[in-house]
Amino acid sequence: MQIVPFIHALRHPFSIPVAPGTTLDRFVYSYIVYGETITLIDTGVAGCEAQIFRYIRSTGRDPSDIAEIVLTHSHPDHIGAARAIQEVTGCSIAAHPVEKGWIEDVELQNRERPVPGFATLVGGSVKVDRLLRDGETTEPDPIHGWELQAIHTPGHSPGSISLFMPGHGALFSGDAVPVGGDLPVYDDALASVASLRRLRELPGIRVLLSAWDEPRTGREAYLHIDRAARYLQTIHEAVLASAGSGSPDPMELARTTAAAIGLPPQAVNPLLARTFAANLRAGDNKDLLADSPWQ
C-alpha cells in the first residue's frame, strides 16, 4: 500500500498458538521508506522477508537497496525477519538502547518475556549497529529531503520509539498507540499514557502509521490517539474493579478483566495477565488521564 510516493506499508498476517488446536490471528505492519537507499521500519515475523523482498522488486527497486532497519522495539512481530534481511542485504540495525539486549539475545527475551510460539516468530538474534535515543535523527535523504526523528515512547516496552518526519507529517508509532477493543499489550500503564500525551501534542501529524492498525490521516490521527488513551482508562478501571481490595491470581484477574472489556476468552494468556498487572502497579488512582489533553 502506497501512503505517499516514498512511504509504502506492508501488512503481515500471522498466528499465535494460544492453546492446543487454538490460534490467535494477528497482523503487523512494516514500512518501506524509499530514498537514495531504502529504510525499513520493523520487519514483521520470521518469514516476512520474502513478502518484503517481493514488494520492493515490484516497485522497481532491489532488496540490496535496504541500507538500514529501524526497529521500534524488540518484540517478536517487529524483529522476527531482521536477521534474514540483514543476512541478504548487509544492512545496519538501529534501535533504542533499552531494547538492544533483547534484540541481540532473543533467547534472553524469551526467558524474560515468554510469548506463545516465540521460536516460530523470531528468526534469530541480530546485532544493533546504531542506538537511536530520544530526539536523535537519521541523515536527511537527498532525494526526498526526509529524516526520521526518534521519539522515546515507553509503556508498551521500556525502549519503544516512535519515528516522526516533521516536514512530511508522517508519524510511525510502532505499538505505542493501542487500538480500542483489541488485545492490549504494555508493561507500564502510566508510561503508556504519558507517551500518548506526547504524541498527541505533536504538531502537524498528517498520517499516523501504526504497527497494529490501519493508517489514519488528518484529524482522524489525533482522534485515534484520543480513543487509545480512553481505552487505557477503561482497562485501568476494569482491572481495579476486578482486583477489588485483594491480590487476585494473575490469570483469574486476566479472565475477569478480559470479559469486562469484551475480549474473547482465547485472548487470555500470561502476556495479557502481565499487561493487566501493569495497571495494579500504577496504583489505585482510578484516573490515568488526569493531565492535559484529557482533562
Radius of gyration of the chain from Cα atoms?
19
Give 29-75 as a DSSP string.
Answer: EEEEEESSSEEEE---STTHHHHHHHHHHHTT--GGGEEEEE-S--S
Three-state DSSP at 275 gives: helix
The CA–CA distances, whole Å, from 290 to 14, 134, 237, 241, 286 equal: 37, 25, 14, 19, 9
Residue among 212, 94, 203 nearest 156 (CA): 212
Cell of 226: 484520543
Tell me, yes or no, whether 256 lies in a domain: no
Residue type (1 letter), 276: F
Which parts of the chain fold into alpha helices (H)?
48-58, 76-79, 82-89, 100-104, 106-112, 118-121, 189-200, 219-243, 250-261, 270-281
Give me the sheet containing 149-152, strands edge to edge. Answer: 149-152, 161-165, 170-174, 207-210, 216-217
Tell me, yes or no, whether 142 lies in a domain: yes
Q: Residue 66 maps to which CATH number? A: 3.60.15.10
* Beta bridge pairs of residue 176: none
Tell me, yes or no, whether 271 lies in a domain: no
Tell me, yes or no, whether 74 lies in a domain: yes
8-state DSSP, 28: E
Residue among 122, 114, 126, 235 nearest 183 (CA): 235
Tell me, yes or no, whether 214 lies in a domain: yes
8-state DSSP, 18: E
DSSP run (H or E) holding 117 = none
Tell me, yes or no, whether 288 lies in a domain: no
pLDDT tens for each residue of the chain, 295 residues long: 899 999 999 999 988 876 677 777 889 999 999 999 999 999 999 999 999 999 999 999 999 999 999 999 999 999 999 999 999 999 999 999 999 999 999 999 999 999 888 999 999 999 999 999 999 998 888 888 899 999 999 999 999 999 999 989 999 999 999 999 999 999 999 999 999 999 999 999 999 999 999 999 999 999 999 999 999 999 999 999 998 866 678 999 999 999 999 998 888 888 899 999 999 988 777 888 887 787 6
Tell me, yes or no, whether 81 lies in a domain: yes
Domains held by the chain: number: 1
Tell me, yes or no, whether 70 lies in a domain: yes
> 99 is in which domain, residue-wise?
2-237
Give me the sheet containing 38-41, strands edge to edge. Answer: 2-4, 7-19, 22-34, 38-41, 66-70, 92-95, 130-131
